Amino acid sequence: MRSRLVALVALALAAALLPAAAGAHPDELSAVLGALPAQEGPEGEHDDATEGEYEGLNLLANWPGDPAGSYREGSDLAFWGNTAILGSYGNPGGFFVMNIANPASPKHMGTFACAGPQGDVSVWENLVFVSVDTPQNSAECGSGSAGVPTYASGQAWEGIRVVSIANPTKPEQIAAVDTDCGSHTHTLLPDIDHVDEDGRPDPRVLLYVSSYPLGGQGVECNAAGHRKISVVEVPLRRPAEASVLSTPDVSPAVGCHDITVFPELGLAAAACISESQLWDIRDPANPQIVSHIRNPRMQIHHSSAFSWDGEVLVLGDEMGGAAAAAGCLAGGHAPTGSLWFYDVSDPANPVEQGWFTIPQDQPSMQCTAHNFNVVPTVDGSRVLVTAWYNGGTHVLDFDDPANVEQLAYAKPAHGSSWSSYWYNGHVYVNNFDEGYVPPIAYSRGFDVMTVDDGLLPESHDLPHLNPQTQLRPPKAEPKAQPGSGRR
């Protein structure tokens, strides 16, 4: 989410909301968080990382930073082979590179320390892309947050950093692309078969950059005129030449928060704050809106994912931007900060099927649906892994979207799961600070979990994973994963 409290124009352009993308706290609070020293625990002592509630999910490993407790404000995750990229909202910002060849013992390889929240990440081969959604004096690391005269005149920088991890111990920024309203999040869309104007192979990736007007971003970013995303082109043979390719219109939405692409289907699902949209992406540089999903019971259209058969769409509502949510106090009986399920077998006519919220009560305001992905099961069973901030990490069966079943959950002590994803037989969790209302300068850091045997069906291994990029697994023999045999 964004780092300042602002009036977000949504629905009738009059609702004051806390922006929601991967956490949301105002500048004043962010400054407080940054000023607080990292702790080994909420009371200065390092608590046992295994403490908490675990039902069907089990803690395999925890990396709290080095020294313990120093890794704070984790954001999104991305994976390439045995490498995990841990996005860092702040303190220091940028990302960490981890070796997860042995999930029971993840090893820190390198750090790209570069301020500019919120640190949404994706990876392609040796390139990492990082979202910056806070105006900076320049694209250089350490330039500092821009002052009012700089951003008000449109001279500040925010957007996408392109970073090489060819040497994972020393990540190096090789390009920076300025985008209007910055980059709250972004979604990677590979276009490997692209050819140039002369018909020669010119493989590239496109980044769908989601942003929306918050407070104090100047002439290039305002609620009256920002109705778009930015499409950034990164030529893989010349990544330093990355640039904005197009700025597709997403009216009436005032920008978007997050986008999931399913290239094989030629579809994208965009969560655009006041509504969600389905797009035709067969011309990837110029997506076209196919349908709009409006739901008055959703406060912030935040995240999305497709079932692997493409028939069900999952939408996440980040109530109150997490910083002003009501908590999870209804025992799962009220649709607040929930997941919503839609039949999109006809993308032009989405049909609501049901909703789910966690049955565990959690009085923390920081309790709402957040980042999730769908497990690529061999038999087509629909299984979702989702983060729920202080509500923990949950594994859900949505074979029947009208009656979603919780299969497993984990609520580790002092955890605040920002991103929880399945990847090759394990569940990986990146944690934000335990609390920012009031601020608690402590994070669990990075968790690796397993699912109890018998709870999940067999699943395919993936060569890589950007969770908002749904690429079908290679056609190969499935690998039995821990927890196989549910059906």
Q: Which residues pair with 314 in a beta bridge?
A: 305, 341
pLDDT at residue 362 is higher than 90: no
pLDDT score of 326: 63
Residue 154 CB: number of other CB atoms within 10 A? 14
Q: Give the CATH number of domain 27-465.
A: 2.130.10.10
Is 184:132 a contact under the CB 8 Å cutoff? Answer: no
What are residue 439's phi and psi, to 5 degrees? Answer: -70, 130
What are residue 48's phi and psi, to 5 degrees? Answer: -60, 120
Rounded distance between C-alpha atoms, residue 247 and residue 177, angstroms: 13
Highest mean pLDDT among 146-160, 315-329, 445-459: 445-459
Least confident of 190-199, 213-222, 277-286: 213-222
pLDDT at residue 330 is higher than 70: no
Q: What letter represents residue 299's amino acid?
A: Q
Least confident of 314-328, 384-398, 417-431: 314-328
pLDDT score of 229: 95
- Top pLDDT among 480 and 207 is at 207
Over residues 433-438, mean pLDDT: 68
Rounded distance between C-alpha atoms, residue 6 and residue 2, angstroms: 9
Per-residue pLDDT band for 429 (boundaries 50, 70, 90) equals very high
Query: Which residue ranges make up each domain of the chain?
Result: 27-465
Residue 27 CB: number of other CB atoms within 10 A? 16
Rounded distance between C-alpha atoms, residue 369 and residue 382, angstroms: 18
At 68-122, the pLDDT tens digits run 777 888 999 999 999 999 999 987 899 999 999 999 999 999 999 998 888 999 9
Q: Which residues pair with 340 in a beta bridge?
A: 315, 355
pLDDT at residue 442 is higher than 80: no
Q: What is the DSSP letter of 109?
A: E
Q: Which two tokens stand for residue 343?
A: 């039949």
3-class state of residue 155 by DSSP: coil
What does pTM read for this prediction?
0.88
pLDDT at residue 33 is higher than 60: no
Over residues 294-303, mean pLDDT: 92
Per-residue pLDDT band for 222 (boundaries 50, 70, 90) equals confident
Q: What is the CA radius of gyration of the chain?
A: 20
Per-residue pLDDT band for 367 (boundaries 50, 70, 90) equals confident
User: E strand or H helix at 410, and its extent?
Assistant: strand 405-412
Least confident of 91-105, 123-137, 350-364: 350-364
Over residues 313-333, mean pLDDT: 72
Rounded distance between C-alpha atoms, residue 220 and residue 157, angstroms: 11
pLDDT at residue 46 is higher than 50: no
Rounded distance between C-alpha atoms, residue 17 and residue 26, angstroms: 11
Per-residue pLDDT band for 65 (boundaries 50, 70, 90) equals confident
- Top pLDDT among 41 and 269 is at 269
Nearest of 399, 438, 467, 344 to residue 87 by alpha carbon: 467
Rounded distance between C-alpha atoms, residue 409 and residue 167, angstroms: 36
